[in-house]
Structure 1
Amino acid sequence: MIDKHYNSPSYKPLYDQIKVLLTQSLIGGEWRPGDMIPSEIELAGRYKVSQGTVRKAIDALATENILIRRQGKGTFVATHSAEGMKLRFLRLTSQDGQKELLQNEFISCTKGKADVRMGQILDLKAGASTIEIKRLLTFSGRPLIFDHIIVPAAPFKGLNGTRVEENNGSMYSMYESEFGVRMIRAEERLKAVGAKGEVAKALGLKEGEPILSIERVSFTYGDKPMEWRLGLCVTDNHHYMNELE
Protein backbone atom coordinates (compact mmCIF):
# COMPACT_ATOMS: atom_id res chain seq x y z
CA MET A 1 0.00 0.00 0.00
CA ILE A 2 0.98 3.65 0.21
CA ASP A 3 4.11 4.76 2.03
CA LYS A 4 3.46 4.77 5.78
CA HIS A 5 4.76 8.35 5.97
CA TYR A 6 1.87 9.54 3.79
CA ASN A 7 -0.39 11.37 6.22
CA SER A 8 -3.59 11.96 4.28
CA PRO A 9 -6.85 11.38 6.18
CA SER A 10 -7.83 7.73 6.22
CA TYR A 11 -11.23 8.50 4.65
CA LYS A 12 -9.63 9.63 1.36
CA PRO A 13 -10.31 7.14 -1.45
CA LEU A 14 -7.16 5.29 -2.43
CA TYR A 15 -7.11 6.71 -5.96
CA ASP A 16 -7.39 10.21 -4.48
CA GLN A 17 -4.33 9.52 -2.32
CA ILE A 18 -2.44 8.46 -5.46
CA LYS A 19 -3.63 11.62 -7.20
CA VAL A 20 -2.14 13.69 -4.36
CA LEU A 21 1.17 11.79 -4.58
CA LEU A 22 1.33 12.33 -8.34
CA THR A 23 0.63 16.03 -7.82
CA GLN A 24 3.41 16.21 -5.22
CA SER A 25 5.82 14.78 -7.82
CA LEU A 26 4.69 17.49 -10.25
CA ILE A 27 5.17 20.20 -7.63
CA GLY A 28 8.62 18.81 -6.84
CA GLY A 29 9.62 18.96 -10.51
CA GLU A 30 10.10 15.23 -11.03
CA TRP A 31 8.12 15.58 -14.27
CA ARG A 32 8.17 18.90 -16.10
CA PRO A 33 5.53 20.28 -18.50
CA GLY A 34 5.64 18.24 -21.70
CA ASP A 35 7.34 15.24 -20.04
CA MET A 36 5.91 11.75 -20.26
CA ILE A 37 5.19 10.27 -16.84
CA PRO A 38 5.90 6.59 -16.00
CA SER A 39 3.43 3.97 -17.17
CA GLU A 40 0.48 2.87 -15.06
CA ILE A 41 2.25 -0.43 -14.34
CA GLU A 42 5.40 1.38 -13.14
CA LEU A 43 3.40 3.74 -10.95
CA ALA A 44 1.36 0.87 -9.53
CA GLY A 45 4.62 -0.81 -8.54
CA ARG A 46 5.98 2.39 -7.03
CA TYR A 47 2.92 3.03 -4.87
CA LYS A 48 2.06 -0.65 -4.29
CA VAL A 49 -1.51 -0.32 -5.51
CA SER A 50 -3.45 -1.80 -8.41
CA GLN A 51 -3.08 -0.52 -11.95
CA GLY A 52 -6.79 0.33 -11.90
CA THR A 53 -6.28 2.65 -8.93
CA VAL A 54 -3.46 4.44 -10.74
CA ARG A 55 -5.58 4.71 -13.88
CA LYS A 56 -8.41 6.32 -11.90
CA ALA A 57 -6.00 8.86 -10.37
CA ILE A 58 -4.55 9.71 -13.79
CA ASP A 59 -8.06 10.03 -15.25
CA ALA A 60 -8.90 12.57 -12.53
CA LEU A 61 -5.76 14.61 -13.31
CA ALA A 62 -6.52 14.42 -17.04
CA THR A 63 -10.03 15.74 -16.41
CA GLU A 64 -8.42 18.74 -14.68
CA ASN A 65 -6.09 19.32 -17.68
CA ILE A 66 -3.04 18.57 -15.53
CA LEU A 67 -2.15 15.44 -17.49
CA ILE A 68 -2.87 14.58 -21.13
CA ARG A 69 -3.31 11.04 -22.47
CA ARG A 70 -2.02 10.45 -26.00
CA GLN A 71 -3.28 7.29 -27.62
CA GLY A 72 -0.45 4.85 -28.28
CA LYS A 73 2.18 7.19 -26.83
CA GLY A 74 1.57 7.53 -23.10
CA THR A 75 0.53 10.14 -20.56
CA PHE A 76 2.18 13.57 -20.55
CA VAL A 77 2.26 16.59 -18.28
CA ALA A 78 0.10 19.26 -19.89
CA THR A 79 1.86 22.39 -21.11
CA HIS A 80 0.66 25.85 -22.11
CA SER A 81 3.05 25.63 -25.08
CA ALA A 82 0.96 22.90 -26.68
CA GLU A 83 -1.34 23.84 -29.53
CA GLY A 84 -4.84 24.24 -28.16
CA MET A 85 -3.56 25.17 -24.68
CA LYS A 86 -1.82 28.47 -25.45
CA LEU A 87 -5.05 30.46 -25.28
CA ARG A 88 -6.86 28.18 -22.85
CA PHE A 89 -8.05 31.02 -20.62
CA LEU A 90 -8.78 33.54 -23.40
CA ARG A 91 -12.52 33.43 -24.01
CA LEU A 92 -13.16 36.54 -26.10
CA THR A 93 -14.43 35.37 -29.48
CA SER A 94 -15.47 37.13 -32.67
CA GLN A 95 -19.23 37.00 -33.28
CA ASP A 96 -18.69 35.63 -36.79
CA GLY A 97 -16.39 32.89 -35.48
CA GLN A 98 -13.47 33.96 -37.65
CA LYS A 99 -9.95 33.35 -36.39
CA GLU A 100 -8.06 36.55 -35.68
CA LEU A 101 -4.43 37.59 -35.47
CA LEU A 102 -3.66 38.21 -31.80
CA GLN A 103 -0.83 40.54 -30.81
CA ASN A 104 0.32 42.11 -27.56
CA GLU A 105 1.41 45.71 -27.11
CA PHE A 106 3.57 46.22 -24.02
CA ILE A 107 2.67 49.19 -21.83
CA SER A 108 4.59 48.85 -18.57
CA CYS A 109 6.22 46.54 -16.03
CA THR A 110 6.88 47.89 -12.55
CA LYS A 111 7.75 46.62 -9.07
CA GLY A 112 5.25 47.14 -6.30
CA LYS A 113 4.02 46.02 -2.88
CA ALA A 114 0.94 43.95 -2.14
CA ASP A 115 -1.81 45.85 -0.36
CA VAL A 116 -4.13 44.03 2.04
CA ARG A 117 -6.58 42.96 -0.69
CA MET A 118 -3.89 41.74 -3.08
CA GLY A 119 -2.18 39.94 -0.20
CA GLN A 120 -5.40 38.05 0.48
CA ILE A 121 -5.89 37.22 -3.20
CA LEU A 122 -2.33 35.98 -3.79
CA ASP A 123 -1.80 34.55 -0.29
CA LEU A 124 0.96 37.07 0.47
CA LYS A 125 1.78 39.22 3.45
CA ALA A 126 0.76 42.85 2.99
CA GLY A 127 3.84 44.69 1.73
CA ALA A 128 5.32 41.65 -0.04
CA SER A 129 7.08 42.45 -3.32
CA THR A 130 5.03 42.12 -6.49
CA ILE A 131 5.46 42.70 -10.22
CA GLU A 132 2.79 44.66 -12.06
CA ILE A 133 2.36 44.40 -15.83
CA LYS A 134 0.09 46.30 -18.19
CA ARG A 135 -0.35 45.43 -21.85
CA LEU A 136 -2.83 45.81 -24.68
CA LEU A 137 -4.16 42.84 -26.64
CA THR A 138 -5.15 43.53 -30.22
CA PHE A 139 -7.34 41.31 -32.40
CA SER A 140 -6.50 41.73 -36.10
CA GLY A 141 -5.01 45.12 -35.30
CA ARG A 142 -7.85 46.41 -33.15
CA PRO A 143 -7.22 46.93 -29.40
CA LEU A 144 -9.81 44.87 -27.52
CA ILE A 145 -8.35 43.94 -24.12
CA PHE A 146 -6.48 46.06 -21.59
CA ASP A 147 -4.61 43.57 -19.40
CA HIS A 148 -3.56 44.50 -15.86
CA ILE A 149 -1.52 41.71 -14.21
CA ILE A 150 0.00 41.35 -10.73
CA VAL A 151 2.20 38.40 -9.68
CA PRO A 152 4.29 37.75 -6.55
CA ALA A 153 7.90 38.75 -7.19
CA ALA A 154 9.64 35.79 -5.52
CA PRO A 155 8.58 33.00 -7.95
CA PHE A 156 9.18 35.29 -10.95
CA LYS A 157 12.63 36.64 -10.14
CA GLY A 158 14.05 38.36 -13.23
CA LEU A 159 10.68 39.08 -14.83
CA ASN A 160 10.87 42.54 -16.37
CA GLY A 161 9.54 44.61 -19.25
CA THR A 162 12.17 43.34 -21.69
CA ARG A 163 11.18 39.72 -21.10
CA VAL A 164 7.48 40.52 -21.45
CA GLU A 165 8.13 42.38 -24.73
CA GLU A 166 10.39 39.65 -26.11
CA ASN A 167 7.84 36.98 -25.24
CA ASN A 168 4.99 38.79 -27.05
CA GLY A 169 2.62 35.87 -26.54
CA SER A 170 0.94 33.82 -23.84
CA MET A 171 2.07 34.91 -20.38
CA TYR A 172 1.27 31.42 -19.14
CA SER A 173 3.71 29.86 -21.62
CA MET A 174 6.40 32.25 -20.41
CA TYR A 175 5.66 31.54 -16.74
CA GLU A 176 6.01 27.86 -17.49
CA SER A 177 9.08 27.84 -19.75
CA GLU A 178 11.13 30.54 -18.02
CA PHE A 179 10.05 30.34 -14.39
CA GLY A 180 8.79 26.78 -13.98
CA VAL A 181 5.34 27.94 -12.88
CA ARG A 182 2.40 26.25 -14.60
CA MET A 183 -1.11 27.60 -14.18
CA ILE A 184 -3.58 24.76 -13.61
CA ARG A 185 -6.90 26.51 -13.19
CA ALA A 186 -8.44 29.94 -12.87
CA GLU A 187 -11.38 31.61 -11.16
CA GLU A 188 -13.10 34.50 -12.93
CA ARG A 189 -15.59 37.19 -12.00
CA LEU A 190 -17.34 39.13 -14.76
CA LYS A 191 -19.24 42.41 -14.67
CA ALA A 192 -20.02 45.41 -16.86
CA VAL A 193 -18.11 48.62 -16.09
CA GLY A 194 -17.44 51.98 -17.71
CA ALA A 195 -14.12 52.68 -19.43
CA LYS A 196 -12.00 55.27 -17.62
CA GLY A 197 -8.67 57.09 -17.90
CA GLU A 198 -5.78 55.18 -19.46
CA VAL A 199 -8.03 52.21 -20.22
CA ALA A 200 -10.47 54.28 -22.29
CA LYS A 201 -7.58 55.95 -24.10
CA ALA A 202 -5.78 52.66 -24.86
CA LEU A 203 -8.96 51.03 -26.16
CA GLY A 204 -10.00 54.08 -28.21
CA LEU A 205 -13.20 54.63 -26.23
CA LYS A 206 -14.98 57.59 -24.71
CA GLU A 207 -15.05 57.96 -20.94
CA GLY A 208 -17.82 55.82 -19.49
CA GLU A 209 -18.39 53.61 -22.54
CA PRO A 210 -19.40 50.10 -21.43
CA ILE A 211 -16.79 47.35 -21.37
CA LEU A 212 -16.60 43.86 -19.86
CA SER A 213 -14.44 43.46 -16.75
CA ILE A 214 -12.96 39.97 -16.24
CA GLU A 215 -11.14 39.59 -12.93
CA ARG A 216 -9.16 36.36 -12.85
CA VAL A 217 -7.03 34.58 -10.26
CA SER A 218 -4.87 31.75 -11.65
CA PHE A 219 -3.56 28.87 -9.57
CA THR A 220 -0.59 26.50 -9.88
CA TYR A 221 -0.16 23.01 -8.38
CA GLY A 222 -1.41 22.67 -4.83
CA ASP A 223 -4.09 25.31 -5.54
CA LYS A 224 -1.62 28.10 -4.85
CA PRO A 225 -2.66 31.48 -6.33
CA MET A 226 0.09 32.86 -8.56
CA GLU A 227 -1.48 35.58 -10.70
CA TRP A 228 -4.19 38.23 -10.43
CA ARG A 229 -5.37 39.63 -13.74
CA LEU A 230 -7.96 42.22 -14.73
CA GLY A 231 -8.95 42.08 -18.38
CA LEU A 232 -11.03 45.05 -19.56
CA CYS A 233 -12.64 44.08 -22.86
CA VAL A 234 -14.46 45.74 -25.75
CA THR A 235 -17.36 43.51 -26.73
CA ASP A 236 -19.30 45.43 -29.41
CA ASN A 237 -18.60 42.68 -31.96
CA HIS A 238 -17.10 40.02 -29.68
CA HIS A 239 -18.53 37.91 -26.88
CA TYR A 240 -17.25 35.91 -23.95
CA MET A 241 -17.63 32.21 -24.71
CA ASN A 242 -17.39 29.37 -22.23
CA GLU A 243 -18.10 25.65 -22.52
CA LEU A 244 -20.00 24.06 -19.64
CA GLU A 245 -19.96 20.35 -18.94
Structure 2
Amino acid sequence: MTRDANRSATRATAPTFSPLYRQIKDFLIGSLERGEWGPGDAIPSEGELAQRFNVSQGTVRKAIDEMAAENLLVRRQGKGTFVSTHSDPRSFYRFLRLLPDDGVAVPSASDPFYCENVSATPEVAAALGLQPGDPVIHVKRLLRFAGETVVFDQIYLAADLFSGLTLEALRGGERSLYSLFESDFGVRMINAEERLRAIAADPESADLLGVAVGDPLLLVERTAYTYGNKPVEWRRGLYCTRNHYYRNDLG
Protein backbone atom coordinates (compact mmCIF):
# COMPACT_ATOMS: atom_id res chain seq x y z
CA MET A 1 0.00 0.00 0.00
CA THR A 2 1.38 3.43 -0.90
CA ARG A 3 1.98 6.18 1.65
CA ASP A 4 -0.96 8.19 0.26
CA ALA A 5 -3.23 5.16 0.50
CA ASN A 6 -2.14 4.62 4.11
CA ARG A 7 -2.96 8.24 4.93
CA SER A 8 -6.38 7.90 3.30
CA ALA A 9 -7.13 4.75 5.27
CA THR A 10 -6.09 6.47 8.50
CA ARG A 11 -8.36 9.42 7.80
CA ALA A 12 -11.28 7.14 6.95
CA THR A 13 -11.04 5.12 10.17
CA ALA A 14 -10.13 7.90 12.60
CA PRO A 15 -12.83 8.41 15.26
CA THR A 16 -14.74 11.65 15.22
CA PHE A 17 -14.22 14.03 18.12
CA SER A 18 -17.04 15.93 19.80
CA PRO A 19 -16.11 18.81 22.13
CA LEU A 20 -17.21 18.29 25.73
CA TYR A 21 -19.71 21.15 25.65
CA ARG A 22 -21.35 19.58 22.58
CA GLN A 23 -21.72 16.32 24.48
CA ILE A 24 -23.39 18.23 27.31
CA LYS A 25 -25.64 19.93 24.77
CA ASP A 26 -26.67 16.54 23.39
CA PHE A 27 -27.50 15.32 26.91
CA LEU A 28 -29.63 18.43 27.52
CA ILE A 29 -31.47 18.06 24.21
CA GLY A 30 -32.14 14.44 25.12
CA SER A 31 -33.69 15.60 28.39
CA LEU A 32 -35.92 18.04 26.50
CA GLU A 33 -36.95 15.34 24.04
CA ARG A 34 -37.85 12.93 26.86
CA GLY A 35 -39.91 15.62 28.57
CA GLU A 36 -37.78 15.99 31.68
CA TRP A 37 -38.35 19.73 31.29
CA GLY A 38 -41.39 20.88 29.35
CA PRO A 39 -41.98 24.07 27.37
CA GLY A 40 -41.75 27.08 29.65
CA ASP A 41 -40.12 25.14 32.50
CA ALA A 42 -36.98 26.36 34.23
CA ILE A 43 -34.00 24.07 33.85
CA PRO A 44 -31.48 23.55 36.70
CA SER A 45 -28.83 26.18 37.26
CA GLU A 46 -25.46 25.98 35.55
CA GLY A 47 -23.90 24.96 38.86
CA GLU A 48 -26.39 22.12 39.36
CA LEU A 49 -25.89 20.90 35.80
CA ALA A 50 -22.11 21.09 36.20
CA GLN A 51 -22.36 18.81 39.23
CA ARG A 52 -24.76 16.50 37.45
CA PHE A 53 -22.42 16.01 34.49
CA ASN A 54 -19.17 16.39 36.46
CA VAL A 55 -17.90 19.21 34.25
CA SER A 56 -17.05 22.87 34.76
CA GLN A 57 -19.72 25.59 34.79
CA GLY A 58 -17.97 27.14 31.79
CA THR A 59 -18.59 23.98 29.78
CA VAL A 60 -22.28 23.98 30.75
CA ARG A 61 -22.54 27.70 29.98
CA LYS A 62 -21.15 27.19 26.48
CA ALA A 63 -23.68 24.41 25.82
CA ILE A 64 -26.55 26.55 27.07
CA ASP A 65 -25.34 29.57 25.08
CA GLU A 66 -25.50 27.51 21.89
CA MET A 67 -28.96 26.17 22.73
CA ALA A 68 -30.20 29.69 23.45
CA ALA A 69 -28.84 30.85 20.09
CA GLU A 70 -30.86 28.03 18.48
CA ASN A 71 -34.04 29.07 20.37
CA LEU A 72 -34.15 25.84 22.36
CA LEU A 73 -33.68 27.73 25.62
CA VAL A 74 -34.35 31.28 26.78
CA ARG A 75 -32.25 33.16 29.33
CA ARG A 76 -34.13 35.58 31.59
CA GLN A 77 -32.03 38.04 33.51
CA GLY A 78 -32.24 37.38 37.23
CA LYS A 79 -34.68 34.47 36.79
CA GLY A 80 -32.75 31.66 35.15
CA THR A 81 -32.90 29.65 31.97
CA PHE A 82 -36.16 28.28 30.59
CA VAL A 83 -37.27 25.90 27.85
CA SER A 84 -38.51 27.90 24.88
CA THR A 85 -42.23 27.76 24.24
CA HIS A 86 -44.47 28.77 21.35
CA SER A 87 -46.81 30.32 23.92
CA ASP A 88 -44.30 33.13 24.40
CA PRO A 89 -45.50 36.07 22.22
CA ARG A 90 -41.87 36.85 21.39
CA SER A 91 -41.64 33.58 19.44
CA PHE A 92 -44.53 34.40 17.10
CA TYR A 93 -42.55 36.13 14.37
CA ARG A 94 -39.78 33.53 14.42
CA PHE A 95 -41.75 31.39 11.96
CA LEU A 96 -43.84 34.07 10.27
CA ARG A 97 -41.75 36.68 8.47
CA LEU A 98 -44.50 38.63 6.71
CA LEU A 99 -44.82 42.34 7.44
CA PRO A 100 -46.99 45.16 6.09
CA ASP A 101 -45.29 47.69 3.83
CA ASP A 102 -44.86 50.17 6.70
CA GLY A 103 -42.81 47.57 8.58
CA VAL A 104 -44.99 47.65 11.70
CA ALA A 105 -45.91 44.13 12.78
CA VAL A 106 -49.58 43.51 13.51
CA PRO A 107 -51.21 40.37 14.96
CA SER A 108 -52.63 37.91 12.49
CA ALA A 109 -55.99 36.17 12.70
CA SER A 110 -56.01 32.48 11.78
CA ASP A 111 -59.07 31.05 10.02
CA PRO A 112 -58.82 27.26 9.55
CA PHE A 113 -61.59 25.94 7.30
CA TYR A 114 -60.57 22.36 6.47
CA CYS A 115 -59.09 19.45 8.45
CA GLU A 116 -59.20 15.89 7.12
CA ASN A 117 -57.20 12.67 7.25
CA VAL A 118 -55.84 11.86 3.80
CA SER A 119 -53.25 9.60 2.17
CA ALA A 120 -49.81 11.12 1.65
CA THR A 121 -48.92 11.91 -1.93
CA PRO A 122 -45.35 11.13 -3.01
CA GLU A 123 -44.44 14.82 -2.53
CA VAL A 124 -45.89 14.99 0.98
CA ALA A 125 -44.41 11.62 1.94
CA ALA A 126 -40.93 12.69 0.82
CA ALA A 127 -41.14 15.90 2.86
CA LEU A 128 -42.29 14.12 6.03
CA GLY A 129 -40.11 11.01 5.73
CA LEU A 130 -43.13 8.76 5.16
CA GLN A 131 -44.25 6.28 2.53
CA PRO A 132 -46.73 7.32 -0.18
CA GLY A 133 -50.19 6.39 1.04
CA ASP A 134 -49.35 6.76 4.74
CA PRO A 135 -51.98 8.72 6.71
CA VAL A 136 -51.45 12.45 7.13
CA ILE A 137 -53.67 15.28 8.32
CA HIS A 138 -54.40 17.96 5.74
CA VAL A 139 -55.28 21.42 7.09
CA LYS A 140 -56.28 24.48 5.11
CA ARG A 141 -56.40 27.92 6.69
CA LEU A 142 -56.28 31.61 5.90
CA LEU A 143 -54.25 34.26 7.71
CA ARG A 144 -55.61 37.78 7.91
CA PHE A 145 -53.74 40.94 8.88
CA ALA A 146 -55.88 43.93 9.91
CA GLY A 147 -58.81 42.29 8.16
CA GLU A 148 -56.98 41.65 4.88
CA THR A 149 -56.57 38.04 3.76
CA VAL A 150 -52.87 37.65 3.01
CA VAL A 151 -51.92 33.96 3.35
CA PHE A 152 -53.51 30.71 2.19
CA ASP A 153 -51.81 27.77 3.92
CA GLN A 154 -52.09 24.10 3.06
CA ILE A 155 -50.55 22.16 5.94
CA TYR A 156 -49.72 18.45 6.13
CA LEU A 157 -49.00 16.81 9.48
CA ALA A 158 -47.70 13.38 10.45
CA ALA A 159 -50.96 11.70 11.54
CA ASP A 160 -49.42 9.52 14.26
CA LEU A 161 -48.32 12.61 16.19
CA PHE A 162 -51.56 14.55 15.88
CA SER A 163 -54.21 11.87 16.33
CA GLY A 164 -57.57 13.42 17.20
CA LEU A 165 -56.85 16.85 15.75
CA THR A 166 -60.13 18.41 14.61
CA LEU A 167 -61.25 21.55 12.87
CA GLU A 168 -63.02 22.61 16.07
CA ALA A 169 -59.74 22.37 18.00
CA LEU A 170 -57.95 24.41 15.34
CA ARG A 171 -60.60 27.11 15.56
CA GLY A 172 -60.71 27.27 19.33
CA GLY A 173 -59.01 30.09 21.22
CA GLU A 174 -56.38 32.60 20.22
CA ARG A 175 -53.36 30.28 20.26
CA SER A 176 -51.06 29.95 17.28
CA LEU A 177 -51.01 26.57 15.55
CA TYR A 178 -47.56 25.82 16.91
CA SER A 179 -48.68 26.70 20.43
CA LEU A 180 -51.65 24.34 20.06
CA PHE A 181 -49.42 21.55 18.73
CA GLU A 182 -47.04 22.05 21.64
CA SER A 183 -49.63 22.18 24.43
CA ASP A 184 -52.20 19.65 23.17
CA PHE A 185 -50.00 17.12 21.37
CA GLY A 186 -46.58 17.59 22.95
CA VAL A 187 -44.98 18.37 19.58
CA ARG A 188 -42.67 21.36 19.58
CA MET A 189 -41.41 22.82 16.33
CA ILE A 190 -37.68 23.38 16.84
CA ASN A 191 -36.59 24.65 13.45
CA ALA A 192 -37.73 24.84 9.86
CA GLU A 193 -36.40 25.23 6.36
CA GLU A 194 -38.22 27.18 3.68
CA ARG A 195 -38.12 27.45 -0.09
CA LEU A 196 -39.49 30.56 -1.79
CA ARG A 197 -40.54 31.10 -5.38
CA ALA A 198 -42.97 33.22 -7.36
CA ILE A 199 -45.98 31.51 -8.92
CA ALA A 200 -49.23 32.52 -10.61
CA ALA A 201 -52.48 32.35 -8.67
CA ASP A 202 -54.70 29.39 -9.57
CA PRO A 203 -58.52 29.68 -9.34
CA GLU A 204 -58.73 28.41 -5.73
CA SER A 205 -56.00 30.65 -4.33
CA ALA A 206 -57.20 33.64 -6.38
CA ASP A 207 -60.71 33.30 -4.93
CA LEU A 208 -59.47 32.91 -1.34
CA LEU A 209 -56.93 35.74 -1.51
CA GLY A 210 -59.06 38.16 -3.52
CA VAL A 211 -56.72 38.41 -6.49
CA ALA A 212 -57.10 37.64 -10.18
CA VAL A 213 -56.20 34.27 -11.65
CA GLY A 214 -52.64 34.55 -12.90
CA ASP A 215 -51.65 37.32 -10.47
CA PRO A 216 -48.23 36.79 -8.87
CA LEU A 217 -48.08 35.15 -5.45
CA LEU A 218 -45.16 34.18 -3.24
CA LEU A 219 -45.04 30.44 -2.58
CA VAL A 220 -43.35 29.52 0.70
CA GLU A 221 -42.81 25.78 1.18
CA ARG A 222 -41.82 24.94 4.74
CA THR A 223 -40.71 21.74 6.42
CA ALA A 224 -40.76 22.02 10.21
CA TYR A 225 -38.80 19.72 12.51
CA THR A 226 -39.12 18.67 16.12
CA TYR A 227 -36.40 17.20 18.37
CA GLY A 228 -34.08 14.76 16.68
CA ASN A 229 -34.44 16.62 13.38
CA LYS A 230 -37.69 14.71 12.75
CA PRO A 231 -39.93 16.32 10.09
CA VAL A 232 -43.49 16.63 11.38
CA GLU A 233 -45.08 19.36 9.26
CA TRP A 234 -44.93 20.35 5.61
CA ARG A 235 -46.84 23.35 4.35
CA ARG A 236 -47.37 25.29 1.17
CA GLY A 237 -48.17 28.90 1.95
CA LEU A 238 -49.35 31.26 -0.77
CA TYR A 239 -48.65 34.87 0.18
CA CYS A 240 -50.29 37.90 -1.39
CA THR A 241 -47.59 40.58 -1.36
CA ARG A 242 -49.79 43.40 -2.62
CA ASN A 243 -49.43 45.23 0.71
CA HIS A 244 -46.93 42.99 2.50
CA TYR A 245 -43.39 41.72 2.11
CA TYR A 246 -41.36 38.77 3.35
CA ARG A 247 -38.51 39.78 5.67
CA ASN A 248 -35.52 37.66 6.64
CA ASP A 249 -32.77 39.05 8.85
CA LEU A 250 -29.33 37.76 7.89
CA GLY A 251 -26.30 37.86 10.09
* Fold similarity call, TM over 0.5: yes
One-letter amino acid matched to 1:36: A
SS at match of 1:85: helix
Per-residue deviation at 1:124?
A: 1.5
Question: Is residue 2:209 matched to residue 1:206?
Answer: no
Question: 2:47 aligned to 25, 34, 41, which one?
Answer: 41
8 Å contact from structure 1 (residues 104, 169) kept in 2? no
8 Å contact from structure 2 (residues 86, 92) kept in 1? yes
Per-residue deviation at 1:221?
A: 1.0
CA distance in 2, matches of 1:167, 1:113: 29
8 Å contact from structure 2 (residues 100, 243) kept in 1? yes
Question: Is residue 2:234 matched to residue 1:218?
Answer: no
SS at match of 1:60: helix
Distance 1:136 1:173, change over 3 A: same
Question: Is residue 2:99 matched to residue 1:93?
Answer: yes
Per-residue deviation at 1:116?
A: 2.4
Q: Deviations over 1:170-226 (max 9, x none)?
A: 111111111111111110000000010211100111111101000001111111111
Question: Is residue 2:79 matched to residue 1:73?
Answer: yes
CA distance in 2, matches of 1:97, 1:154: 39
Question: Is residue 2:18 matched to residue 1:12?
Answer: yes
Aligned positions of 1:26-175 closer than 5 A: 26-175=32-181
8 Å contact from structure 2 (residues 87, 175) kept in 1? no
Counting matched residue pairs gives 237
One-letter amino acid matched to 2:21: Y
CA distance in 2, matches of 1:199, 1:105: 15
CA distance in 2, matches of 1:24, 1:189: 29
8 Å contact from structure 2 (residues 188, 226) kept in 1? yes
CA distance in 2, matches of 1:198, 1:94: 24
One-letter amino acid matched to 1:162: E
Distance 1:93 1:230, change over 3 A: same
Per-residue deviation at 1:98?
A: 3.1
8 Å contact from structure 2 (residues 73, 84) kept in 1? yes
Per-residue deviation at 1:101?
A: 4.3
8 Å contact from structure 2 (residues 118, 138) kept in 1? yes
SS at match of 2:94: coil
| Bigger mean CA offset, 67-76 vs 120-129 | 120-129
Per-residue deviation at 1:117?
A: 2.4
Per-residue deviation at 1:97?
A: 2.0
One-letter amino acid matched to 2:245: H
Distance 1:21 1:57, change over 3 A: same
Question: Is residue 2:200 matched to residue 1:194?
Answer: yes
Distance 1:47 1:140, change over 3 A: same
Higher helix share: 2
Question: Structure 1, unaligned stretches of length 5 or more?
Answer: 1-8
Per-residue deviation at 1:136?
A: 0.8
TM-score (norm 2): 0.91
Give identity over the alignment, percent. Answer: 51
SS at match of 1:243: coil
Q: Highest CA radius of gyration, 1 or 2?
A: 2
